[in-house]
A and B are shown apart, each in its own frame.
Chain A
């Protein structure tokens, strides 16, 4: 299998008045051609910033560094704005977590979609563009696409807006798509339709997918590998089945235990992982999960664990390195 994208030791820090926020703090991973890697983890752990770093859509206050980056067989030395522009769209396209970050409020959907077709398939006639627009709107499950093309983003419901944005992201027929929470505002039926569409594109054009989601149902339907992120670092990575069957990192374990989702007890209290995510201005010096880890050893509070690689799995946890199981 050939790698489509690889990044080593990615660090994205934000300079804020309160100090340096280490949102992404030494992240490495790769994605093969035609493969789906899922990136999961708690709210605020750095998933979106990781993906925005790859296509360099970061605020000016961001400081981006890495040891190595490769996209589509080409090493990217310093990812200038111009290089980044060439990567975005045709190579890597992004489905944003919040539709209005990428939709332009003053243009109708038809115009925004048309721009993408014009840019990526020059020579198409007006009629062909319209036809293609209707077709892709149908594919993302938008009923009455003809009507929906003629409106502004604010005239669409939340779920329709999300799908319009997905249509625009996929219209460039990208080699890789970063799908950041692509199905949050959608009901299960439409969610299934979007996942099927991504899978179909993957089959047809060998597209790679970086899928970011908090929904393990979605992960299990499409991903082959899973990377688990906690407080700016990837703490565990492996094949989907291995991670689900036998999580090595305590955080992964707790995450997987929460998969059934909200257990309906009609009015009762709900369980959550105890404690809160550490303050990214001031991470604990040992393992970042130690303050919340029910299995933490003394060493965990003082020494950051090194990454241990076993075959196609990796984990950063003292318990595992010492051969202790997480029960």
Chain B
């Protein structure tokens, strides 16, 4: 991809599919599949922030979890540094790579071990993975809490003794503790008020400068936050990438009808021109029963005969701008 200046991508995702079996009856027979991710190709450059957006249930979290090896993809490869297939790693190799790949979960409540104080939760990984002494680790925990805007006295508390937004920030502190090369942020700032949200976004951007090449996959439904933080943005619909471009290009010149509809839903602040709101007809089809042809055609205002038969490929329509739509050919 030209916009990556011919750098070796830190990640090259090829034809990734994650299907969940649907089981029925006493025999637990598989009667179908939820095609949560259904053939995704994506390259991420080192040091890049890639935004990932799309309607609820379209497969964003599932991609994030596949990258950090928290689910078993049905098909595909995830190549790290042009060399290692993450999906093939096992044992010690997997453990070594894992600390370079961290995720801030969408739901911090169920991702933080309820039986450990914050101090233990974070210091343990620092001691095991970074070889710190206990004292060094405790100091580091205090520093990390301050970074995410929390008082260091909180270190002795258990996860359930925090407010929702505080818990989300603890999950962030834990994820950045290991100074990962790659961080998946899954709705990582959605529970925070604007002031603290801003503080965390600044922190994420600072970390990038401090550690050189941190790479982010930034999943969010808050399009203004995505626009602010991302270098490029990928738009997903029902398990597939529909459009991918540099942030300015995507927000200023969206090409895919789905992207246009998605962006038109952003509330405009007074004083700016209100774009015409495109309201999509029909409901999101089921990922267990993906429509033929272009999976968006049943809701697309511009769909033609061809769209219902032939699935469009994700093609480069201008340098660095990719779109999967017959109409943009």
Contacts and interface: CB of A to CB of B under 8 A. Distances in A.
Contacts of A76: none
Interface string B216-248: 000001101101110000000000000000011
A101 B109 contact: yes
Interface residues of A, number: 58
A273 B194 CA distance: 9
A187 B227 CA distance: 15
A133 interface: no
Given A14-B161, A17-B156, A214 B166 contact: no
Interface string B234-272: 000000000000011000000000000000011101000
Given A59-B160, A159-B56, A262 B198 contact: yes
A181 B164 contact: yes
B228 A265 contact: yes
Given A18-B156, A48-B163, A155-B20, A184 B190 contact: yes
A188 B107 contact: no
A276 B151 contact: yes
B256 to A, nearest CB: 17
Contacts of A271: 198
Contacts of B164: 43, 48, 97-98, 180-181
Contacts of A144: 283, 286, 288
Interface in B187-209: 187, 190-199, 201-202, 205
Contacts of A123: none
A187 B190 CA distance: 11
A190 interface: yes
Contacts of A261: 194, 222, 224
Interface in A176-221: 180-181, 184-190, 214, 217
B196 A43 contact: yes
Given A16-B157, A59-B160, A100-B109, A258 B61 contact: no
Contacts, number: 150
A273 B55 contact: no
Interface string A61-105: 000000000000000000000000000000000000111110000
A309 interface: no
Contacts of B109: 98, 100-101
B228 to A, nearest CB: 5
B205 to A, nearest CB: 7
A259 to B, nearest CB: 8
Given A158-B107, A264-B228, A43 B221 contact: no
B57 interface: yes
Contacts of A276: 149, 151
B228 A266 contact: yes
Given A267-B205, A269-B202, A281 B267 contact: no
B163 A59 contact: no
A99 B190 CA distance: 14
B57 A100 contact: no
Interface in A128-177: 143-144, 147, 155-161
B226 to A, nearest CB: 9
Nearest to B266: A188
* Closest CB pairs A-B (n = 10): A159-B56, A43-B165, A270-B198, A214-B193, A98-B109, A272-B198, A143-B283, A187-B221, A272-B195, A158-B106
Given A157-B61, A159-B57, A261-B194, 9 more contacts: A43-B164, A59-B161, A159-B56, A161-B107, A186-B56, A258-B194, A264-B227, A270-B228, A272-B196
Interface of A: 14, 16-18, 41-44, 47-49, 59, 97-101, 143-144, 147, 155-161, 180-181, 184-190, 214, 217, 254-255, 258-267, 269-273, 276, 279, 281
30 contacts: A14-B161, A18-B156, A43-B164, A98-B107, A98-B108, A98-B167, A143-B286, A156-B57, A158-B186, A159-B221, A160-B57, A181-B164, A184-B191, A185-B221, A186-B56, A190-B56, A217-B267, A258-B193, A259-B194, A261-B222, A262-B198, A262-B222, A263-B228, A264-B227, A266-B227, A266-B247, A266-B248, A267-B228, A270-B202, A272-B195
